[in-house]
Amino acid sequence: MSKRRFINIGLAAVTLVSMSAASEAADVVRGPAYSPPPPALPLFYNWTGFYVGGHLGVGWADGGSSGFLGGGQVGFNYQFNPQWVLGVEADIAGTTIKDTVNASFVFPGAIATTSATASLDWVSTLAARFGYAFDRWLVYGKVGGAWAHASANISTSVIMPGIGGIGGGGTINQTVSGLVLGVGTEYALWGNLSGKIEYNMMDFGDNNPFADNKFQVLKAGLNYRFSGLPF
């Protein structure tokens, strides 16, 4: 083989190697033909769904009557856009709240005694809820109707010295309605279980069985949601 032919073969081999390297380099610069996937969106707790639960708390009237209460609630939430939450909730609770009044009157030849004990048997509300979710925290307000049932035992006795005494009594039952306003916060604990703290102010006007316009409640509770798991 002549020296000139050997040189030509060597030049051809170098040219092929260079073209292959340039092609591979071009492929590296161009990168993949497909677009990278979009960044993952943040996950938020989903408050949408029906729920049931229970609560315990304290209640007090403007006149000073106070006591404990406990009961249950049921409701529905709908979350949208993407962190606003609308819902509706109904609750009912029995109470230990009582108010007692005693009075005595002295007349010529007689002494009259009157005793009245009023018990707030239960309170109930049906209200719309509106709130804003910070992931697993929900802050909300509520407005709607309120109802209360009270019973009163009244007894009266008249004592006439040297003659004797007479007495009587009776029971009065009354259910009144009014307005409820409230604020609260709820936290998703785990799974479908959440805990809440809530303040309610109920205004019964002149119909309040304790002769006070307003009745206030501070309560804590748990809810179990049938849907609303993180998505």
Residue of higher predicted confidence among 141 and 162: 141
* Distance of alpha carbon 103 from alpha carbon 207, whole angstroms: 23
* Distance of alpha carbon 127 from alpha carbon 223, whole angstroms: 16
Question: Which stretches does DSSP call E strand in 108-163?
Answer: 110-134, 137-160
Q: Kind of pairing, strands 98-107 and 110-134? A: antiparallel
Q: What is the largest CA-CA distance in the chain?
A: 159
- Which domains are present in the chain? 46-225 (2.40.160.20)
Task: Tell me the pTM.
Answer: 0.71
Summarised one tens digit per residue, pLDDT across range 95-154 is 998 876 656 556 565 666 666 677 889 999 999 999 999 999 999 999 999 999 988 777
| Closest C-alpha to 187, from 224, 220, 138 | 138
- Determine contact, residues 149/174, Cβ cutoff 8 Å: yes
> What pLDDT does residue 16 have?
46
What percent of the chain shows pLDDT beyond 90? 46
Residue of higher predicted confidence among 209 and 76: 76
